[in-house]
Structure 1
């Protein structure tokens, strides 16, 4: 059976041992269906090697256990922290401990850079690299219940033991191909702590707004900010405060009193009384009283009036050829929207920076300027310089 760490002393001893190795693999199990913030239920970790003590389960729900030794390890610059699809795990650790593990290696990102396709899953990498089956039957079990079943423990441990072989393989592939710096570019946003901070005043930007009127957007901004703050304070899903369709209804009907609010068709019963109802009415009034100079506006879309459809088609051919040549998923290099931007004369974007510029951006700009053409050569497409 796996070793389960339930005391701070045991965790500190393991982390002290981990501080002397080049990398650790990490994963978590959590619940989020009934809360705003994820409830951390389990942390799995493994060290390089195959010894029985090299992989452990850490129980953050154990009485008296502090995760401070783990957070200290996460700050250790000499130990690489290896995750697969790390974003949700990193958000949890940032909220729980105020730390973003670094240096970081995300095997999902590395796999995309190494040509395994777009958003490749862990199970696929285990099958292709570790050559092992993976039992996912415990994936959606209740991780907050104790004791953990043997099946849950085996499932959780597999998420970090196979990850060692995957990490070592992908690290070698990145080094051989000279793409380690590509990986570092991709990890920049993941390790940016600000990306895990949700500002209530910015919450309106996630709404699928049907009306772009700045006056109505001011109401939407206030309602969304109130909902976000209330959800954070009560640690419940924002939809438990106010669903999106009900929020849109309030933006349209603009209830200025509790009597007006009571006429809403879509409000949950809990939102028709008490502090929630009062907060919603106050938010609507704040939105209506927002001076015109402070009205929010939706970002303007790209000007596509100059879009050259023939050039857009050529860019799609070029992208496909470059993706096949480099062994990187086309979607990771540039989106369909990016190609339309380029065909409209746009000369900057993520596609035009860093490794993407090396792989695709330079030739895209040359095609835009008429300095290269595309030629079919058997099943391949190659670029051909165009003379002055």
Structure 2
């Protein structure tokens, strides 16, 4: 397999010039996510069918010309299961390549299973077994070994022929635009951030807490994310989610009493104990009329099970009519999104959140009539 390791500006400029006329580019990234909130990019792989470049982003390179190419609407970018790659691009490049074709979603559309891994796709489509020995390698180490480089090159070298086969089937069904729209939605979801004041509602176990405890949890959740972003630390390295709930329940008044809470680690107290105590005090000082309402689990709402069943049946009918698998339209999680949108949030809160997937393009175009009772306005997608 021929590839070029790119570490110099002249090499990058030459490579971008060589692929600049391509209509389709296979793309992958290698990154590390050890204790950081944001992924650390370690390698960028691009293949146009003739030229395969492994670009080292740890070198002082000017990516301006490459970014212009990856932003070009006339060039299709192909990735497999790009959720994390999208996040890598958002944080490293400041944008997401578009239009984007996700081969994993294409396989799902064709009824070949959810979350088909890259190796499984290559095996079934190309009858090639991928060597997985480097899958858990340290991509930030330098120099990269020959085996690492070959592994990274194979990701895009095999991706393009898989795409060529899949896109023929997708176009035959008239679903090409659906794949593109799904990737656009994925990018939008990755870029969206739940407002600070609503973070506490997403914490597992929040439903157990009384309003005053929720006020403390709300302060803790806002502080934790802000510190994680400021320090580029994974959220659970700032404070574990389960520990936030316990701290909100017990409301410790000192560092020593905080250390006695089961599950709370000494490191959490040593690093952030004073900040945690300040969150507790702010929550305790919140006026009674400003306290959050209790959080109700969706399963505890009256009529939830029957409602979810009814929506699932309506979607199954649309799936049968269109030939699109029902699980592509909506998983259980996506059905719950729709119900929560109506039952758990008021109009002001909905304005701050992304509409559920079933009310977003492309799905809404298909389910609009079947789910007419679940449409609040004529323009819910955002």
Q: TM-score, normalised by structure 1?
A: 0.78
Whole-Å separation in 2 of the counterparts to 1:257 and 1:338: 42
Structure 2 gaps, min length 5: 343-354, 374-382
Looking at structure 1, the residues matched to 363 and 189 of structure 2 have their Cα atoms a distance apart, in angstroms, of 24
Larger Rg: 1
- 1:57 maps onto 2:58 in alignment: no
CA distance in 2, matches of 1:169, 1:300: 44
Aligned pair count reads: 356
> Structure 1 residue 279: deviation in Å?
0.5
Partner of 1:13: 14
For the 8 Å contact 1:91–1:196, the answer to whether it is kept is no
Give, in angstroms, the shift of residue 360 of structure 1: 7.0
Q: Deviations 1:248-287 (Å, cap 9, x if unpaired)?
A: 22111112344543443433223333x6111111111112
Partner of 1:235: 232
Preserved CA contact (<8 Å) 1:189 1:195: no
1:122 to 2:123 alignment: no
Q: Distance in 2 between matches of 1:341 and 1:320?
A: 17
Please give the per-residue CA displacement for 1:171-208, whole angstroms capped at 9, x wherever unaligned.
22222111223223322322327635476554434421
Matches within 5 A, 1:22-61: 22-47=23-48, 49=49, 51=50, 54-61=51-58
Structure 1 unaligned regions, length at least 5: 367-388
| Selected match of 1:189 from 179, 185, 191 | 185
Q: CA deviation at 1:44?
A: 0.8
Residues 102-141 of structure 1: per-residue CA shift (max 9 Å, x gap) = 1111111122112221122112221222332221221011
Q: CA RMSD in A?
A: 3.5
Q: CA 1:342–1:220 in 2, change beyond 3 Å: closer, same or farther? A: closer
Please tell me whether residue 74 in structure 1 is matched to residue 75 in structure 2: no
Q: Report SS of the residue matched to 2:22.
A: coil
CA distance in 2, matches of 1:88, 1:12: 26
Corresponding residue of 2:246:
249
Which digits, 9 at most, give the CA deviation of each residue in 1:300-343, with x for residues without a partner? 7389645796x987987786687578654432223457789999
Deviations 1:338-383 (A, max 9, x none): 789999xx9x9755776657777757889xxxxxxxxxxxxxxxxx
Distance, in Å, in 2 between the alignment partners of 1:186 and 1:167 is: 16
Alpha-carbon contact 1:117-1:328 (below 8 Å) kept: no
CA contact (8 A) 2:204 2:242 kept: no
Taking a change above 3 Å as real, the CA distance of residues 299 and 226 of structure 1, as seen in their structure-2 partners, is same
User: Structure 2 length normalisation: TM-score?
Assistant: 0.79
